[in-house]
Chains A and B, each alone.
Chain A
């Protein structure tokens, strides 16, 4: 497995895309879309993060073991968010007295 040398052109293209997406996230924020503002902002942020991960952090050419390790981070993050938010969202619904009602 020889090291993969990415051409500079790809790096400049990714940089350009990241800049355009930054501008896009700023432009969308000027419009009141209600809850959709957050969905769009996070969607753009996830796209930007994916570009950085795949191209700048070379995950694109990493071994499966490395990719799996990286993904495990986001898996644990999902557990952290999932369980905590499930708790907050359901407080007072399942056991009303817990919330002091």
Chain B
């Protein structure tokens, strides 16, 4: 008579049956989720440092050339920047709602909210594209054809222009930072939209439910992080010289 197997053969894995979405190395679904969350946060910490150096470069150059930064900032389109802020905050709302839909086992809801998030993300990029187009037309893109002149609309502005004899050169530093910071932010959004597209297909196939939706949560963390970067970029890049208008 054969003895009882040491490991119960109640599942094809050859060991005790567990949740189909639980990877072997974890004891429980909670532990698995905690592990994903922690790993994602370690990645986000590297992202904080990655964007951090850009904000630091901005701080240093702005302290050295405050007039150029003030006047160059005024050439941006605050309305478009403001609309984009609202669009991005809206996309963060639809992102958490997608996770909520998973938590209440509403499969279609997950897909709807993920599509909405992708749509708002794309809207942001299209508006950003129009802003970039304007900057190219105005020759505000650093390089051989760069040209910047502040409009003499008030005595205050005139005084600022007089303070910096190398205004154009220093303004090009502002625009370099503007393009690098918003460009890398936009790159993050493009990557995010790609990941959301994959999640959309998997959600439609019923891959995520109340018990398991870690990829949705982790992508959410990434998406909200990118939102936070913009929350700082908007006032620091767009609103510097708003009181001079």
Binding site for B on A (CB under 8 A): 1-3, 5-6, 8, 11-12, 15, 18-19, 22, 25-26, 29-32, 37, 41-42, 44-45, 48-49, 52-53, 55-58, 62-63, 65-66, 69-70, 72-74, 76-77, 80-81, 84-85, 88
A70 x B41 contact (CB < 8 A): yes
A-B contact pairs, 23 of them (CB 8 A): A2-B30, A3-B30, A6-B100, A8-B97, A12-B93, A19-B86, A22-B82, A26-B82, A29-B240, A44-B235, A45-B231, A45-B235, A48-B231, A49-B232, A52-B231, A53-B228, A56-B96, A57-B220, A70-B41, A73-B44, A76-B45, A80-B53, A85-B60
User: Considering only CB atoms, which chain B residue lies closest to A70 in the complex?
Assistant: B41
CA distance A5 to B227 in the complex (A): 22
- Among A6, A26, A58, A81, point to the contact of B239 (Cβ < 8 A): A26
Q: With a CB–CB cut-off of 8 A, which chain A residues contact B49?
A: 73, 76-77, 80
Q: How many A-B residue pairs have CB under 8 A?
A: 127
B79-112, CB < 8 A from A: 82, 85-86, 89-90, 92-93, 95-97, 100, 103-104
CA distance A36 to B119 in the complex (A): 37
Whether, in the assembled complex, B129 has its beta carbon less than 8 Å from a beta carbon of chain A, the answer is no
CA distance A24 to B228 in the complex (A): 17
The B interface is mostly helix, strand or loop, or mixed, namely helix
Tell me whether A42 and B235 are in contact in the complex, defined as CB-CB below 8 angstroms, given that A11-B97, A22-B85 are known contacts: yes
User: Considering only CB atoms, which chain A residue lies closest to B235 in the complex?
Assistant: A41
Q: With a CB–CB cut-off of 8 A, which chain B residues contact A37?
A: 243
B204-237, CB < 8 A from A: 217, 220-221, 224-225, 227-228, 231-232, 234-236
- Among A48, A49, A56, A73, point to the contact of B45 (Cβ < 8 A): A73
User: Considering only CB atoms, which chain B residue lies closest to A15 in the complex?
Assistant: B93
Whether, in the assembled complex, B135 has its beta carbon less than 8 Å from a beta carbon of chain A, the answer is no
CA distance A63 to B30 in the complex (A): 11
- Among A19, A53, A88, point to the contact of B60 (Cβ < 8 A): A88
Query: Closest 8 A-B residue pairs measured CB to CB?
Result: A73-B45, A29-B239, A29-B242, A41-B235, A73-B48, A32-B243, A15-B93, A69-B41
Q: With a CB–CB cut-off of 8 A, which chain A residues contact B30?
A: 1-3
Q: With a CB–CB cut-off of 8 A, which chain A residues contact B82?
A: 22, 26
